[in-house]
Amino acid sequence: MDDRTSRLESAVEHLQLTVQTLQQRLDAIEAKVGTAAGAVVDSLAQGPAAAPPNARPARTPKKDPYDPITMLSHVGRLLLVLAGGFFLRAMTDAGALAVPVGIGLAFAYAAVWLVMSHLAGGRGQEPNAVFHALAAALVAFPLSVEATTRFNVLTGLTGALAVSALSAGLLFVAWRRRLRALAWITVIGALPVSAALLIKTGVVVPFALYLIALGVATLWLSYAVDWWGARWLAAVAADIAVAGVTLRAFAAEPRDTPQAAMLLQLLLFVGYFGSIAYRTLVRGRDVSRFEVVQTVAVLAVSLGGAVFMWQAAHAVPAVLGVAALLVGATCYGVATAVVERRAEGALNFYFYTTLALVLVLAGFTIAVDSVWLGAVFACFGVLGAGLWSRLGRLFMLLHGAVYLVAAGIVSGALGYGLRTLVAGAEGPWRVPGAVMLLVLAATVLCAALAARRSLSSGDEVAVGTRFVITIVLVWLAAGSLIGLIAPLAGTQADRSVDPGVLATVSTGVLSMATLVIAWIGGRIRFREWGWLVYPLLVGIGLKLVTQDFKHSRPATLFIALALYGTALIVAPRLRRLDQKANAEAGA
C-alpha cells in the first residue's frame, strides 16, 4: 500500500514538472509572437517613415520651374493673355463695345491677372506669379496711355491716378509675395508711361507727385526686403520731375504755379529725408550710399529750387528759410545728443552734421535778405573755431571754416580782394565796407582760436583746415589794406586810382605780409602760416613782371623793387631759423 502511494506521488510530481515545462515554453512562444505583432503594428502606425533603413521608396522628381519647356509654356500663356487684351481692343474699335465700357473691361481684365499673380505667389509658384503680373502690366500700362491720349476717357489727373493704382497693386504683390522681378517690372513700366502722359497731356504736377510717391515706395521696399536697384531709377525720375515743375513755374510763360512747385519741393524733402531719418535714427542703421547721394540731390532740387525761385521773383516766403534753419538746428542736436553716443554711429554723425551745415547755410540765405548775412556767417565761423579750441571736436573746426568762407563770399570780401590784386584800378575806387571789415576781424579771431589747440602729426584734416583759414585771412587782409591805402596814395580826378600807384601799393602790402607771415610761422602752433611764404614770393615776382613794370613809373618801381628784394632776403632766413628752432624744440 505504501509502495502504491509513493509511486502515485512520484507520478504526480513528474506530471507537475511536465506541465510547468510546457507552460514555460508556451509563455516564451507567446512573448515572441507578441513582439513581432507589436513591431508590425508600430510600422503600420508610423507609415512609410518607419521603413527599414535599407528600404528606398520611390521619389517623384522635382519639377524645375525654369526648365526651357516650362518657360516656353509661360511665354505662350502670356501671349494668350495679350491676345485677350487685343480682342477687347478690337471689339471696342469695331463699335461692339462702347469706349468707356471696353476700357473698363480691359482694366478689369488686367486686375484679374494681377489677382492671379498674387494667388500663384501664395502657392509658391514664382514663375507663374511673375508672368501673370507681367501680363497685367503689359495690358494696363499701355491702356492708360491710350485711354488718356487717344480715346480721351481719362484726363491727365485721372490718368495719373490710374497709373498710381496700378503701380500700388503691383508693388503690393511684389512685397507680399517677395517677387523682386515684379518690382522691376513696375518701375520699368511706370517711368516711360508717366513720361509719355506728362509730355502728351502737359499736366506735370500730378505725375510729379506720383513719381515722388513711387520713389518713396521703392525706398521703403528696399528697407523691407533689401531690394536696392529699383529705387535709383525712381529717385532720379522724382528729382527731375520736381526740378521741371520749378523751372516751369518761372518760365517766360509760366505753366505751373510757384505754390505747386514749393509743395512738391517740400514733399520730396519730407518724403526722402523722413524715411532716411527713420532708418538711421529709429532703426539705428548706417546711412547708405544711395541715401547720401539722394540727400544731396534732394537738397539741390528742393533748397536749390527755393533759392532759384527767390532770385527769380522773390516768391519764396521767409518761413521756408526759417523751417530749413529749424531742421538744421535739429540735425545738429540729433547728431551730438543721439547719434554720437552710439557705438557705431560715426558715419551717421558726419552725415547729420553735414546736412545741418547745408540747411543752416541755405536757411539763412533764404530768410535773411540783407548785406549783413556775411556778418551772420562770420559769427558762426568764430563760434565753430571757439568750440574747437575748447572741445577739440573736428567737425566744429571744419564747419567754422566753411562758415568763414561763406561769409567771405556773401559779403563780397573775397571778390573784393581778388579785384584789388588782379583786376586793376579801372573805374571809381571803392573802399571795403563795414561788413567786409567785420568779416576780416572775424577771420583774425578764427585763426587765433584755431591755433590755440595743439595738434599731433596725425591730425592732417585739422592742419589742412587751419591752413584754409590762414589763406582766407591773408586774402582778406591784403585786399582790405590795399583797398584802404591805394586811394590815399594816388586818387585821380575821376575817383580812380593811378595804376602805377596801385601796383606799388599792392606789391608793398604783399611783401610786408610775407615778412609778417614768415615771422608768425615760426611759432609751433602757427606752422601752417609758414607754408605761404614761398608761394607768396613767387606770386609777387609774377605780379612785378605783369603789372609793376607795365604801369609803374621809375619812382614807384624803385619802392616796389626795394620792398620785394627785402622780402626775398629776409623771409627765407626767418623760415630757416624758425625751422631750426622748431626742430631743436621737438628734439
Contacts of 48 (CB under 8 A, 6+ apart): 57
User: Between the ranges 17-21, 145-149, 345-349, where is the mean pLDDT highest?
Assistant: 145-149
What would the pLDDT profile of 432-474 be if each residue is shown by its tens digit? 989 999 999 999 999 999 998 887 666 888 989 999 999 999 9
**Long-range contacts, stretch 552-560, CB < 8 angstroms, 24+ apart:** 552/500, 552/503, 552/504, 553/500, 556/500, 556/501, 556/503, 556/504, 557/500, 557/504, 559/504, 559/508, 560/503, 560/504, 560/507, 560/508
Query: pLDDT: is 418 or 275 the higher one?
Result: 275
- Over the chain, what is the mean pLDDT? 83
- Predicted local distance difference test score (pLDDT) of residue 340: 77
State residue 287 phi and psi, 5-degree precision: -65, 140
What would the pLDDT profile of 263-318 be if each residue is shown by its tens digit? 899 899 999 999 999 999 888 888 999 999 999 999 999 888 877 776 666 655 67
C-alpha cell belonging to residue 248: 516751369
Residues 136-150: what's their mean pLDDT? 92
What would the pLDDT profile of 208-257 be if each residue is shown by its tens digit? 999 999 999 999 999 998 888 899 999 999 999 999 998 888 777 878 88
- Predicted local distance difference test score (pLDDT) of residue 404: 95
Whole-prediction pTM = 0.77
pLDDT exceeds cutoff 80 at 1: no
What would the pLDDT profile of 327-386 be if each residue is shown by its tens digit? 999 999 998 888 877 766 688 899 999 999 999 998 888 887 677 899 999 999 999 999
C-alpha cell belonging to residue 436: 567786409
Band of pLDDT at residue 25, cut at 50, 70 and 90: low
The torsion of the CA quartet 137, 139, 145, 146, rounded to 10 degrees, works out to 180
Using only the alpha carbons of the chain, give its radius of gyration.
Answer: 42
C-alpha cell belonging to residue 570: 629776409
- Predicted local distance difference test score (pLDDT) of residue 14: 57
- Predicted local distance difference test score (pLDDT) of residue 138: 93
Contacts of 295 (CB under 8 A, 6+ apart): 272, 273, 276, 351, 355
- Predicted local distance difference test score (pLDDT) of residue 170: 95
Beta-carbon neighbour count of residue 393 at 10 Å?
A: 15
- Predicted local distance difference test score (pLDDT) of residue 422: 75
Using CA atoms, how far apart are residues 61 and 418, in angstroms rounded to an integer?
81
Q: Where are the domains of the chain?
A: 68-203, 237-357, 370-492, 498-587
